[in-house]
Structure 1
Amino acid sequence: MNSYQPLLTKAPTQLIQSNGNPAFGLFDGSIPDFNLQDFVYHNLMDKKASALSRYFHYKQFQFICITGADWLLAVAIADIRYANSGFAYLYRFDTKQVVSEGALLPGALGCRMSDSPSKGEAKQSFGGYQVAIKTNPTNWQLEIDTKQLKANLTIEKGQQMPLALCAPTGYNGWTYTEKSNALKVSGSLQLRTEAVDLTQALAGYDFSAGFMRRHTSWRWASINAQVEGKAFGLNMAAGVNETGLCENALWLDGHIQHLSPASFVFDRKDDKKPWQVSSLCGEVQLEFQPLYCRQEKVNIGLLASNFRQYVGLYSGFVVLQNGSRLHLKAIKGLAEDHYAKW
């Protein structure tokens, strides 16, 4: 088995450099300042893009997943310019029950986003549905106020290195992605009138933004769990950040291990059939058994989305940097298959 140890670049203080282009690389930390006003955006014919194109071509989403002893909470806010969307759902593994709420709104109605993964606030609010994600250098804070879900949670970054990269996307775009998994959680979470136990809870966050492809698709796997008594996190993805870089990593007991490119084998026509998730160099060999699928299909001219996010169980193994195997047996996690025209 080949080892995979990519070279890391020191994270700059600003994303956009003096030449008007973003800094590309796999970074050793978060980039705090998204100085988007300094980015020089060109069209496909190398002409300076119009202000309208610049506005509508920029996309951003933020996502949080928290896994407890017998439940999983997933929350998202996405700004795709023509519209904004979001959801919050909680799945119970013991009862197979799910509570799911969300919103899809035109333009920027009821939505604002933060241009930084470490300072600012993303918020979506419409009627009885309100979700806010506040970021700072030490933690992410999640607030939910809906008819059935209420939360005031803090996700501690600690000293753990995130997966942070910026890669060219398409011919003239770029995507910045920052993720970190297996993080400590504190605060309160309530399902209807019942307090949800946070004792074993671990969380992961995802901040992604940039000038992405008009037609975008990805496959994704994520885990936040206790494995052999240690906090374990996994992020595997294929489809977006693959221009010389890939956004794959695991975390064990606070330490990051970067992983080689990912492969996803599954059947879109059979939601109950297991997925095979593996890596190019063999560090990851997992099977995912779906239990629940949150899906949306939207096709309204300018916009289209075929979205499936699955809650399920992972089994198999990962190979650590010291050569030992960490075995996973029915570990709770997420998998996702998404096509977007935006």
Structure 2
Amino acid sequence: MMLPPSPSTLLDADGKPRFGRYAGLVEQFDWSALAAPHARGAIWRLLHHKRWHYVALSTPALFCGVAIVDLGWTTTAFAYAFDRHKGKIVAAFSQNGLPGMGGRVAQHAAGSSRFRFLSNRIVIEAASQQRHRLLLDCGHFAIDAECGPPVSPVLLAFGPVGEGGVVHATQKSGGLPLWGTVRCGAKGYSLDDGVASFDYSNGLLARETAWRWASAHSLDLGFNLQAGYFGAQENALWLDGQLYALGRAHFDFNPDNPLAPWHVWTDDDLLDLHFRAEGARREDKKLWLAASRYIQPIGTFSGWVRSSAGAPKRIVAQLAGVTENHRARW
């Protein structure tokens, strides 16, 4: 099913949410105007409002993931560069900001997110709705990348989360043309002719939140799958410049050995893929108010996808991307 255009705002004039899956960007994520039963007080929103801005950069030689996360009471960030030929992470950065200081995540996906700690700096910036910029300067690790314009619509998924009137929204891109450079110590990598994608998420989430995730993109084919706190609401397929909704996703993998093969599929018979890991980024964090247990294998997907049950299957062969198993207390 192709998706309808995004509404101009997530809430109507009475504060009622326009839940659904759409194609296109929105420029307002204001949860203070939510009407009952979703309305919450300012202190509750401060503790439960979570935002993150994530960018993936992919070439045959390198895969990078960069994220800035706003927990409400503090900001944190991470970045890594994975050399696909060596099968290992060759540069990494992870830092928690000071409460109320150090960074901010944009108010919407077309905005600017920033993180700074001492001399380390990360900027994820939408110079326009057509192009995005990623700048990272963390000592021996540096990225100067630009991507866009998009060749397919951006996903907007907006819906309830579990019980109790909690809501969440996310904007995810398909594959974006990429160019730029990455420096890891004395070694440099070119990003030219690579593919980028971004994930901007903004919502009110429960104290305990868990998910499995998979994402991979070329310029003509890509997908986003999630199973966990957001159900099937953000599952989508990008194919030949069009955006399609996918059904509930299933993840068959070994949590005790996440580098073993994964099998992911959707229950609408539109996607069936096998994932083989080349390596992984993993991190467990324990903060004063929060904790995170996270692993993100990097590798390739092979199998098939299609836009409808009657459409021919499109073969997917070694499409670079990631899976993820994440549990957060925040």
Deviation larger for 130-139 or 211-220: 130-139
Counterpart-to-counterpart distance in 2, 1:128 and 1:61: 22
Counterpart-to-counterpart distance in 1, 2:17 and 2:130: 24
Name the counterpart of 1:70: 61
**Of the candidates 184, 203, 206, which is equivalent to residue 199 of structure 2?**
206
**Of the candidates 277, 290, 299, which is equivalent to residue 303 of structure 1?**
290
Name the counterpart of 2:109: 117
SS in 1 for 2:175: strand
Residue 59 (1) aligns with residue 50 (2) = yes
Name the counterpart of 1:241: 230
1:307 is displaced (CA, Å) by 0.9
Give the TM-score normalised by the residue count of structure 1: 0.88
1:84 is displaced (CA, Å) by 2.0
Give the TM-score normalised by the residue count of structure 2: 0.91
Q: 1:36 to 1:325 in 2, by over 3 A?
A: same
Name the counterpart of 1:185: 178
Deviation larger for 328-337 or 252-261: 252-261
Counterpart-to-counterpart distance in 2, 1:40 and 1:239: 25
Amino acid aligned to 1:276? H
Amino acid aligned to 1:57? H
1:100 is displaced (CA, Å) by 1.2
Name the counterpart of 1:25: 20
**Of the candidates 226, 235, 247, which is equivalent to residue 260 of structure 1?**
247
SS in 2 for 1:196: strand
Name the counterpart of 1:91: 82
Counterpart-to-counterpart distance in 1, 2:5 and 2:258: 41
Amino acid aligned to 2:28? D
Counterpart contact for 2:32–2:42, Cα < 8 Å: no
Superposed CA offset, 1:181-206 (max 9, x none): 21111333333344322233001100
1:20 is displaced (CA, Å) by 2.1
Name the counterpart of 1:340: 328
Counterpart contact for 2:161–2:167, Cα < 8 Å: yes
1:9 is displaced (CA, Å) by 4.3
**Of the candidates 264, 271, 274, which is equivalent to residue 287 of structure 1?**
274
**Aligned residue pair count:** 326
SS in 2 for 1:207: strand
1:300 is displaced (CA, Å) by 4.3
1:58 is displaced (CA, Å) by 0.6
Residue 140 (1) aligns with residue 137 (2) = no
Residue 13 (1) aligns with residue 18 (2) = no
Q: 1:27 to 1:271 in 2, by over 3 A?
A: closer
Counterpart contact for 1:182–1:224, Cα < 8 Å: yes
Amino acid aligned to 1:236? L
Among the aligned pairs, what percent are the same residue? 25
Counterpart contact for 1:215–1:340, Cα < 8 Å: yes
Counterpart-to-counterpart distance in 1, 2:47 and 2:30: 17
Name the counterpart of 1:151: 143
SS in 1 for 2:300: strand
| Unmatched tracts of structure 1, length 5 or more | none
Name the counterpart of 2:160: 168
Superposed CA offset, 1:90-140 (max 9, x none): 11111123111121234232011211112x211111123211111242222
SS in 2 for 1:181: coil
Counterpart contact for 1:103–1:129, Cα < 8 Å: no
SS in 1 for 2:190: coil
Counterpart contact for 1:102–1:129, Cα < 8 Å: no
Residue 218 (1) aligns with residue 224 (2) = no
Superposed CA offset, 1:224-255 (max 9, x none): 23xxxx6322211111322xx52112223322
Superposed CA offset, 1:310-330 (max 9, x none): 111222222344622222233
SS in 1 for 2:50: strand
| Unmatched tracts of structure 2, length 5 or more | none
Amino acid aligned to 2:96? L
Amino acid aligned to 1:213? A
1:42 is displaced (CA, Å) by 6.2
Counterpart-to-counterpart distance in 1, 2:129 and 2:317: 34
Amino acid aligned to 1:142? L
